[in-house]
Amino acid sequence: MENRSKIVVSLVLLPLLLTTISAQSTKLTPNFYKTTCPNVESIVRSAVQKKFQQTFVTAPATLRLFFHDCFVRGCDASILLATGNGNAEKDHPDDISLAGDGFDTVIKAKAAVDSNPQCRNKVSCADILALATRDVVQLTGGPFYRVELGRRDGRISTKASVQRQLPGPNFKLDQLNSMFARHGLSQTDMIALSGAHTIGFAHCGRFSKRIFNFSPRNIIDPTLNFRYALQLRQMCPRNVDPRIAINMDPTTPRTFDNAYYKNLQQGMGLFTSDQVLFSDPRSRGTVNLFASSNAAFHNAFVAAITKLGRVGVLTGKQDA
């Protein structure tokens, strides 16, 4: 895994897209770069494939990076920015665990795009991140989908803007629904996007309370499969190295499939915010649907991530 602390994108190094993105563009479209950089998708895909072949972590890291970027100030690539004083989005505790491979994927894809004279400084990092996210989903067995393009890069990134903007591992259904609804995402969208955990990984400290100190009456969270809890204890013993991370899907961790939902049915959701999707009767039906049909999950995921990609985007002459 790349050392995230070494991956720094300076504000001054990001291209200024004010003059290169059409002022007439007021909405996203898959054909945004048809005349300015017609091969952008193949260029990005090639760079992402190369990175993915080097390390599988590229996939979950890039997907998580896209989600974290869009939920804070919208999908504007501001998660990539470094302020020089440790006060950027990526410096917030909720973002500090973002794997360096996600950042590196965007940086290498951006370099590949800019190496083409026709495309240099014409494609935003926000669009490259959106394309790379689609590519890692497909590379791990997930669906291919058209990516809407035309986002401008933001030039503001603050640690304070992250506060209370990302779902926590202990969230209950109402908290999840409320946070996603703020971005125009429904409960079904939320459940579908949670399925990204099928290729995700998590650090032990994010769920240790569920397996060691859940409550005075229950040492282990009763909604957690007991045998799975004992396995988690072996992988994440007390006082484990905080850098240790484990797969969120214990069955098919390298495949973008509906096993995540089947695991929830068995009490094998790693976070409280995962397991609540099945334990709460209001969301259980959707979990059962996705568990029974990989196609239903993939279709719902495509709809949800397309909507996610529209959150707070900057287009045309909008200020960053």
Verify whether residue 183 is a known catalytic residue.
Answer: no
Residue 74 assigned as binding residue: yes
Instruction: Name which of 60, 148, 53 is nearest 100 in CA terms.
Output: 60
Hey, how many other C-beta atoms are within 10 angstroms of the C-beta on 26? 11
Hey, how many other C-beta atoms are within 10 angstroms of the C-beta on 304? 22
Residue 8 assigned as binding residue: no
Residue 69 assigned as binding residue: yes
Radius of gyration of the chain (CA): 19
Residue 249 assigned as binding residue: yes
Q: What is the 3-state secondary structure (H, E, C) of the chain?
A: CCCHHHCCEEHHHCCCCCCCCCCCCCCCECCCCCCCCCCHHHHHHHHHHHHHHHCCCHHHHHHHHHHHHHHCCCCCCHHHEECCCCCCHHHCCCCCCCCHHHHHHHHHHHHHHHCCCCCCCCCCHHHHHHHHHHHHHHHCCCCCCCCCECCCCCCCCCHHHHCCCCCCCCCCHHHHHHHHHCCCCCHHHHHHHHHHHHHCEEEHHHCHHHHHCCCCCCCCCCCCCHHHHHHHHHHCCCCCCCCCEEECCCCCCCCCCCHHHHHHHCCCCCCHHHHHHHHCHHHHHHHHHHHHCHHHHHHHHHHHHHHHCCCCCCCCCCCC
Residue 78 assigned as binding residue: yes
Per annotation, catalytic residue among 68, 92, 183, 203: 68
Residue 167 assigned as binding residue: yes
Please tell me the distance from the alpha carbon of residue 247 to that of residue 233, in angstroms, as a whole number.
14
Residue 41 assigned as binding residue: no
Q: Is the dihedral of CA 227, 141, 4, 309 positive or negative?
A: negative
Residue 84 assigned as binding residue: no
Residue 302 assigned as binding residue: no
Residue 89 assigned as binding residue: yes
Annotated binding site: 69, 72, 74, 76, 78, 89, 167, 197-198, 249, 252, 257
Annotated binding site for substrate: 167
Active site residues: 68
Annotated binding site for heme b: 197
